[in-house]
Amino acid sequence: MLIAVAMFALMDTAMKLLAAHYPAIQVTALRSLSSLPLVCAYIAYRRKFSGVARVRWPLHLLRGGLGIAMLTLFAYALKSLPLADAYSIFFIAPALITALSVFVLKERVDALQWGAIVVGLIGVLVVLRPDGASFISLAGLAVLGAAACYAVSAIASRILSRTDASEHIMFWLLVTMGSGSVAMAWQGWVAIRAEDWLIICGLALSGFLGQLAITIAFSMGKASVVAPFEYSALAWGVALDWLLWNTLPDAYTLLGAAIIIGSGIYLVRREAVHAEAEHP
């Protein structure tokens, strides 16, 4: 999981660099299409292409649309937000997933878990600034929207995992995102500069390795043990912001991130307790 988080941090850095020169929807297209050949090679190596078309299409199309919205909103936000700020807000996703699981998956969430969700939302408000000065920031709200898209997509993925292979889920996510984002970006497509091809290669490799590492992490370890390591992204965000853009998070961002991370870790641990109680 630590390797996965590091790879995704490098991927987001590449997206931030590209977002400075290209429309957000084009960055989404580049992210999806650049990793697709590597994913296809991996699936072929695993001999998992058989039955790739026998999947639950409505949910795959839904995840593709959500993926386009998530990456486009995140790329838009990265134009003006430091990585650490964006990660701090995005950390609300586990709380949103827990809340959605009640209504979609009919899972049981107790009062303490609802309390942790509320605490996480308070943490988001702290990151967005309690004085209201930055609360109307489009970039901050874009990250919040991206987190919501991610949460809905994660719920859809849980449902898909009951019937579809993980390789097929990954393949169709990139295909639907790539085709949809290219169609949306085509009219305003900006010619790719020669110096950006190296960044795009880094984007492809880091995205693929991150997805591979996170898949292995969750297949080898319990979610309650593995998931909290996702929050190491904040350390990567702070380090990359400082090295590349000479910026550091302020006190509000760090305080809000601490609140959100605390509520997220509690929710993951609490969910594990419930799962063990129901399936001893």
Q: Per residue in 44-57, pLDDT tens?
A: 999 999 999 999 99
Tell me: pLDDT of 7 over 60. yes
Distance (Å, whole) CA 68 – CA 32: 9
pLDDT at residue 272, rounded to an integer:
66
Asked if 256 and 126 count as a contact pair (C-beta separation under 8 A), the reply is: yes
Instruction: Tell me the whole-structure pTM to 2 decimals.
Output: 0.90
pLDDT at residue 255, rounded to an integer:
94
* Domain ranges, residue 249: 2-278
Where does residue 170 rank: exposed (0-12), middle (13-18), buried (19+ CB within 10 A)?
buried
Q: What percent of the chain stands above pLDDT 90?
A: 70
Number of domains in the chain: 1
Distance (Å, whole) CA 185 – CA 30: 10
Q: Per residue in 130-157, pLDDT tens?
A: 665 545 578 999 999 999 999 999 899 8
22 confidence band (pLDDT: 50, 70, 90): very high
Tell me: pLDDT of 59 over 80. yes
pLDDT at residue 110, rounded to an integer:
86
158 confidence band (pLDDT: 50, 70, 90): confident
Tell me, letter by letter, the H, E, C secondary structure of 76-121.
Answer: HHHCCCCHHHHHHHHCCHHHHHHHHHHHHCCCCCCHHHHHHHHHHH
